[in-house]
Amino acid sequence: MLSDAMTGFELLQPTTIDDAVELLDRHGREGWVLAGGYDSLDWFKDRVKQPTAVIDLEGVKELRGVRSVGGGIEIGAMTTLTEVERNDSIRSRYGLLAAAAAKVASPQIRHAATIGGNLCQDTRCWYYRYGVDCYRAGGNTCYAAAPEAMNREHAVFEASRCVAVSPSDTAPALVALDAEMVIRNARGERTVDAADFFMPPSIDIRRMTILEPGDLLTAIRIPETWASADFYFEKVSDRQSWDFALASIAAAFRMDGAAIAEARIVAGAVQCVPRRFERVERMLRGEGRTAAIAERAGQLATRGAEPLGKNEYKVVLVENLVKRAVVG
């Protein structure tokens, strides 16, 4: 008998959202939602997560596609990243999200991976994922925070015990676009601002999102607020594909002539949640997109950074990414 085999589970395949929600409610913490499967199967193979029931959403057609809603759009959570990247409406009106989706992993993965899965994936911190008893896993220490630790990819802002970062490439873009997440459970439906969907470790160190057992992310709604704005997205990683961000920037600008009327600037992979630079946004109002203003914006963005032993380079990355976003 193999001692390192993947733990057995019951595979359940609903065909409607109602059925999926009922199954999640029935199985509670023992249930696991399977979307594209790329993050899930890693957890199962490493035997860190051992659900008794896996709810496969592949057959729930209601969760797929891009629809017009109230002047904006709604994207089903099971819509693949390739569909998001290539959708004409997203490309023409919300190009920031299309650009972010195009930077996830590799083309082969984007064909199967979903936007909902990209948003809900767990952190990639290897200490946590390899099963050590860190804070996030229920222990009493953060192994990555030690000076000699392997923390090159970890947080430089607002770490609270845990220094892991959100790995989602699409999350900063959706926060910048003022998107809303649509969540269903057995008690009904609710919407949550994208900025509030991700869970700071200071509130709950065991979760990356606000989703509770029984909750299902069904859709992402993007209002027309930022439709056809000036967008900038850039991701820095060790490799051009199949790699997670070391830092990324998602920015949206509404212009009044040569002056910035309103801005959204959000960084990824530098904090446990997507980091919105609200002070920078306020500073930019009424200013032009000049090199001098960009310099001020970059310096302001990095105030309060607290790098770890091996990731001080991220502070410079953030400064330069913000400067490049402002100049365009």
Q: What would the DSSP string read from start to end of 273-316?
A: S-EE-HHHHHHHTT-B--HHHHHHHHHHHTTT----TT-THHHH
104 and 113 Cβ atoms separated by less than 8 Å: yes
Average pLDDT of 145-172? 96
270-317 pLDDT tens trace: 999 999 999 999 999 999 999 999 999 999 999 999 999 999 999 999
To the nearest 10°, the Cα dihedral for 80, 47, 171, 219? Answer: 50
In the structure, what pLDDT confidence band is assigned to residue 47 with cuts at 50, 70 and 90?
Answer: low
Amino acid letter, residue 279: R
- By mean pLDDT, which of 35-39, 76-80, 195-199, 258-262 is the weakest? 35-39
Average pLDDT, the chain: 95
pLDDT of residue 4: 57
167-176 pLDDT tens trace: 999 999 999 9
Predicted model pTM: 0.96
Cα–Cα distance measured from residue 79 to residue 218, given in angstroms and rounded to the nearest whole number: 10
pLDDT of residue 278: 98
The sheet carrying 275-276 orders its strands as 230-236, 247-256, 259-268, 275-276
pLDDT at 1 over 60: no
